[in-house]
Amino acid sequence: MAAFLESFFLQYGYAAVFSVLIACGFGVPIPEDITLVTGGIISGLGYTDPHIMVAVGIAGVLAGDGLVFAAGRLWGDNIMRFRFIARVMTPQRYAQVEEKFEKYGNWVLFVARFLPGLRTPIYMTAGISRKVSVLRFILMDGLAALISVPLWVYLGDYGATNREWLMKTVHQVQHGLFAAIGIGAVLLGWFWWRTRSRRRFYREKLAESRARRKAAKAEKKAVKQNARQNTGQP
């Protein structure tokens, strides 16, 4: 895959990188990180400028993600009628993504940038559900892109002449990212559980307090009625 991408990018330059990144956004089985690293490689070989490649990479990533989000927002559940989309967005995967949104909120959009195979379902679900505003989607996705795109492009640029070291480092970085995401997911899950437990505790205490006040008022009212009956007052 990397060899094919390198040949394609050498022939068509920035436009090729941009178009492949848009295709990645729609779930085409081309690794986005390898695409960006390959873009960095041709920069390291002197065919393109690495800083421009970063800009092109960010533009391509945001364009691909934005089109997926917009498609989900525009067509809603009807987008599942498209055969290609139905393959990517199976009912089981859609339910899993919905559960992740309920549990972790908008941070799912940020983490999705580092999860191959889950970006398209997550971004499309965000559009379909309309739980995420356009501005918030751009901010979360843009923040993640500002981290991931320069990382891969500059890594490819630096290791362009030492492919063995580069591929080894790419795998190490991928594993490091997955480990960081796993730890982050555990921490977010713990925070979500703690927050939910506290809210439940406070709701129960509030309900108990209201019940006690209501019972006290009823008891006070009953005492007054008994006192009136004993004194013969109406």
Q: Each residue of 199-228: pLDDT tens digit? A: 777 777 777 778 777 777 777 777 677 666
In the chain, which residue ranges form alpha helices assigned H by DSSP?
A: 2-12, 14-25, 32-44, 50-75, 83-88, 91-104, 107-112, 119-129, 134-158, 163-231
Q: What pLDDT shows up at residue 42? A: 95
Q: How far apart are CA 40 and CA 83, in angstroms?
A: 34
In this predicted structure, the answer to whether residue 57 has a pLDDT above a threshold of 80 is yes
Pick from 88, 95, 91: which is nearest to 120 by CA? 88
125 — pLDDT class (breaks 50, 70, 90):
confident
Mean per-residue pLDDT of the chain = 84
Q: How far apart are CA 59 and CA 205, in angstroms?
A: 51
14 — pLDDT class (breaks 50, 70, 90):
very high
DSSP symbol at 105: T
Helix (H) or strand (E) holding 188: helix 163-231
In the chain, where the domains are located:
2-161
50-75 vs 134-158: helix crossing angle, rounded to 10: 150
Q: Each residue of 164-204: pLDDT tens digit? A: 999 999 888 877 876 776 776 667 667 767 777 777 777 77
Q: Each residue of 97-119: pLDDT tens digit? A: 777 777 777 778 888 888 777 78
Q: How far apart are CA 195 and CA 167, in angstroms?
A: 42
